[in-house]
Chain A
Amino acid sequence: QKEVEQNSGPLSVPEGAIASLNCTYSDRGSQSFFWYRQYSGKSPELIMSIYSNGDKEDGRFTAQLNKASQYVSLLIRDSQPSDSATYLCAVAGGGGGADGLTFGKGTHLIIQP
């Protein structure tokens, strides 16, 4: 069974600093990796997707993937109070099927003004 593990937090970061969020996954056959942001009571909103080893940057966000270590991370530069949310790591593909995303429990991020 596929598992996605995240530290639930809360992770508290000062405004303007870099927030670093981590995720590990169990299924080596996983092909696609996603970071979603979820505000309380709202639906998940896609932040980043990454499919190959290395870094992928989009504005203030950088996703990092290391398939050998089965590790995905998300860096948020110049953190803003509006970045305060729960960040969900999600994985697709592999032996568990191609359609369903497997989500981690999420890391609750608090940006302190």
Chain B
Amino acid sequence: EPEVTQTPSHQVTQMGQEVILRCVPISNHLYFYWYRQILGQKVEFLVSFYNNEISEKSEIFDDQFSVERPDGSNFTLKIRSTKLEDSAMYFCASSALRPATGELFFGEGSRLTVL
């Protein structure tokens, strides 16, 4: 069964460092997303990406964050100058249709720990 894959599964970084989280969405999906979940809190939408550009972003997704689809398969989230409060599980997701009409499939997540 097709699945969304994410790397790394866990990354530890020092405050102020840059981090890149990688995702390979399901191959025939057109919409890609990043969500995050701080420990013990709810899953929060960060950004959606379609047709090689950001489709929608939340208030959380400020200038510290960027996304890119550098080739036909990878989808990356870059966090510049990490802060302690960026520590969270980051989930990549993909869908064939927009969420209003389609279903999201999540990867297993990348746990980011900022020290």
Tell me if A32 and B101 are in contact (CB < 8 A).
Answer: yes
Count of chain B residues near A, Cβ 8 A:
25
> Which residues of the partner chain B approach A98 to less than 8 Å between Cβ atoms?
56, 98-100
How far is it, in angstroms, between the C-alpha of A56 and the C-alpha of B6 when the chains are bound?
A: 32
Extra pairs beyond A45-B106, A90-B43, A100-B48 (18, CB < 8 Å): A34-B103, A42-B109, A43-B106, A44-B91, A46-B103, A46-B105, A49-B103, A88-B42, A92-B100, A93-B100, A99-B55, A100-B56, A100-B58, A102-B45, A103-B44, A105-B41, A105-B42, A106-B42
Report 13 cross-chain contacts, Cβ distance below 8 Å, ordered by A residue: A31-B100, A31-B101, A42-B108, A42-B109, A44-B106, A46-B103, A46-B104, A51-B101, A99-B50, A99-B56, A99-B98, A101-B35, A105-B42
Closest 6 CB pairs of A and B: A100-B45, A99-B48, A93-B100, A92-B99, A99-B56, A43-B106
